[in-house]
Structure 1
Amino acid sequence: MSQYPVIHAVDETLRSLIADHLDTTSFQILDSNPTQRISFQPPHQLMTDNIPTENNLSLFLYRVVENSEVKNRALEARNGNHLHYPPLALNLFYIITPLMKDGNDDEASKNAHKLLGKVMQIFYDHATVKETGLKGVLQNTAEELRIIWNPISIEDMTKLWSSFMRPYYLSVSYEVKVVYIDSERETGAEQVRRKQIEYTQITGV
């Protein structure tokens, strides 16, 4: 189980996963400093006049929803007569966008495609992250994260970029689940102190 900073811990986990598995080409594309070049900011904030300011990879959390599969779990018994509410279970949605500072150059487009392909390969090969791969408040826990490609329509992607008020850049969407945030709510519960059994004898007809 996790505390409320767990969402940022997922950010850090994904950034570390990518940075740790970049090959030489992708490493150089990000100016040999991949950790600082993998940003949690939305892509439009990494641009000036519609042009990326540096070679960056935007790892932007754009949507959070409650996980319906584990939503109605029973209360958990803790501390004697207390029942603890189950944790809030979330699915996180990220948009991944490679941004090259010479955005209109053919070489920049090639580098963006190489970087995006490498990130997709990393997420495919490491679709489940646990134990030492987890960062932040997720460290030293039994939690695990599943990374799932979440293709969205070109119409929805265009709407998303329209909200950024920037021209469209090639992007892909991924879903990460399940992320738990512990509840602080609890309620009292009386223990069973005595059982009473009642029966009625039924005679034959």
Structure 2
Amino acid sequence: MSDEDAVAAVTRTLSGLILGALHDISGAGVDTKPLNELAEGTRDKLVNLYLFQADVDGSLRNTDRIDLAAGETGQQPFPLVLHYLITPFVRHDPDLEAHRLLARAIRVLHDNPVLQRGELAAFAPESDVAKQLDRIRISWQPFGEKDIYSLWSAFQTPYRMSVAYEVRPVLVDSRRAVRTPVPVLKRGRADEGPAAQGSLPLELPAVAAAVPARGQQAARLGERVTLRGRGLSAVSAEARLTHPLKPEPVSVPIAPGDLTGTEASFTLDAATPGEFPAGLWSAGLALTTEVPDGAGVRRVVSVTNEVPLAVAPTITQLPAQVAQTGGAAVIDLTYSPPALAGQPVLLIFDGRAIEPDPATARPAGNPRFVVPAAEKGPHLIRLRVAGVDSVLVDRSGGTPEFVPDQSVTVT
């Protein structure tokens, strides 16, 4: 998303684009003055970019944040629509020179209807508006005679030829912390949960679900994963796993004893952690069957549908106790597999989401977290990589329990 410097960053970026369009006009520049101060500048030729109004984008006002996991709550960003007035000003030349400046500004905004992330980062590095997920678009704003009269009358200055644009959406993030509840251990009587039948059986092989070991919500390296479905009988098979940040799918052979008509099981190889980064994967099967072909048989490979498979990070080293310093607790931990470039990493400290300390350069698998206002006592810890949490609940027994080594005591 973006911070409170986003409005100034957008204005600076627009000014930079227009200034680039005026590079071959001697003495021309860009300013952001109110309309009544145009004649007081030091330049004889300029294009003035004036932010005269800011509205709320109603289409985004009540939408949920798209970066929250299920069950989490957080204050939505405030969506702004910025209205700009572009006015050319030439002190001693005829109006035709002002028209030339105006056309340059219109042309560059027409060529750049969407503010690119690279432009926002280059012109306004002090803001992180370039990181907001929604793209910032520029569009022409019709400006009626009544609008012109009202605006220029308010500044009590003679009218000059002007055009208006609107820029949307500019999202201003809330500083309220996201609330991340601890997982529910039991759902309903006897933890039965819901049951539903949504379709009729088909003849084609299909995968219905990817099931991690011991009923967990996500699989870890070194653990078994079972793909359940129908029509999975084959001479041989391999699981094909696709990750959004890996260029090619990962193929895992299915051993003959691990393949039946309804299940195919395989293990996530822990010896090569870089091959299976954490996050949400897509899992399917490539089945090789034999069909009659004249006097012999030939082998045919069919590929099933894909289902989601969450691969969780594993915290390999976590201090049992950390000291409280100035009300804060510093937690250094190691985990596997390390996050790939572009994957967000968060520490879930009870119900609070903490980002890695930006002031400390650390390896990908060994981040440092500074937890403000950390109360003394034990706290449950989870590590979230690309939206998938480390396993906090042990479901191998009859009753779910919290994993004992995923807690930190603040002293």
Total equivalences in the alignment: 184
Mapping of 1:11-90 within 5 angstroms?
11-22=11-22, 24=24, 27-28=25-26, 31=27, 34=28, 37-47=29-39, 54-74=44-64, 77=68, 83-90=73-80
Amino acid at match of 1:147: I
More RCO (CA 8 Å, sep 6+): 1
Name the SS of the counterpart of 1:47 in structure 2: helix
Once the two structures are TM-superposed, the CA of residue 195 in structure 1 deviates from its matched residue by 0.8
Amino acid at match of 1:110: L
Once the two structures are TM-superposed, the CA of residue 46 in structure 1 deviates from its matched residue by 2.0
Amino acid at match of 1:162: S
C-alpha separation in 1, matches of 2:31 and 2:2: 24
Once the two structures are TM-superposed, the CA of residue 81 in structure 1 deviates from its matched residue by 8.0
C-alpha separation in 2, matches of 1:170 and 1:127: 22
Alignment equivalent of 1:124, drawn from 90, 96, 110: 110
C-alpha separation in 1, matches of 2:2 and 2:53: 20
Name the SS of the counterpart of 2:4 in structure 1: coil
C-alpha separation in 2, matches of 1:187 and 1:109: 54
Once the two structures are TM-superposed, the CA of residue 56 in structure 1 deviates from its matched residue by 2.1
C-alpha separation in 2, matches of 1:53 and 1:38: 9
CA contact (8 A) 2:63 2:76 kept: yes
Alignment equivalent of 2:90, drawn from 100, 108, 122: 100
Task: Say yes or no: does 1:193 pair with 2:185.
Answer: yes
TM-score (norm. length: structure 2)? 0.41
Once the two structures are TM-superposed, the CA of residue 122 in structure 1 deviates from its matched residue by 0.8
C-alpha separation in 2, matches of 1:157 and 1:8: 24
Residue identity over aligned pairs, in percent, reads 27
Aligned CA distance change for structure 1 residues 52 and 112 (closer, same or farther; 3 Å)? farther
- Give 1 or 2: higher strand fraction: 2
CA contact (8 A) 1:95 1:174 kept: yes
Aligned CA distance change for structure 1 residues 93 and 186 (closer, same or farther; 3 Å)? same
Aligned CA distance change for structure 1 residues 171 and 126 (closer, same or farther; 3 Å)? same
C-alpha separation in 1, matches of 2:184 and 2:16: 49
C-alpha separation in 2, matches of 1:188 and 1:142: 20
- Higher mean alpha-carbon deviation, 82-91 vs 115-124, is at 82-91
CA contact (8 A) 2:117 2:131 kept: yes
C-alpha separation in 2, matches of 1:21 and 1:87: 33
Structure 1 residue aligned with 2:155: 164
TM-score (norm. length: structure 1)? 0.79
C-alpha separation in 2, matches of 1:100 and 1:186: 50
CA contact (8 A) 2:73 2:179 kept: yes
CA contact (8 A) 2:2 2:132 kept: no
Structure 2 residue aligned with 1:202: none
- Give 1 or 2: higher helix fraction: 1
Q: Which runs of 5+ in 1 are unaligned?
A: 199-205
C-alpha separation in 2, matches of 1:154 and 1:23: 32
Alignment equivalent of 1:155, drawn from 138, 146, 167: 146
Q: Which runs of 5+ in 2 are unaligned?
A: 193-411
CA contact (8 A) 1:46 1:53 kept: no
Q: How big is the alpha-carbon RMSD for the aligned residues of Structure 1 and Structure 2?
A: 2.7
CA contact (8 A) 1:54 1:101 kept: yes
CA contact (8 A) 1:52 1:101 kept: no
Structure 2 residue aligned with 1:111: 97
Structure 2 residue aligned with 1:183: 174
Higher-Rg structure is: 2
C-alpha separation in 1, matches of 2:22 and 2:11: 17
Aligned CA distance change for structure 1 residues 125 and 100 (closer, same or farther; 3 Å)? same
- Higher mean alpha-carbon deviation, 175-184 vs 139-148, is at 139-148
C-alpha separation in 2, matches of 1:182 and 1:17: 25
Name the SS of the counterpart of 2:148 in structure 1: helix
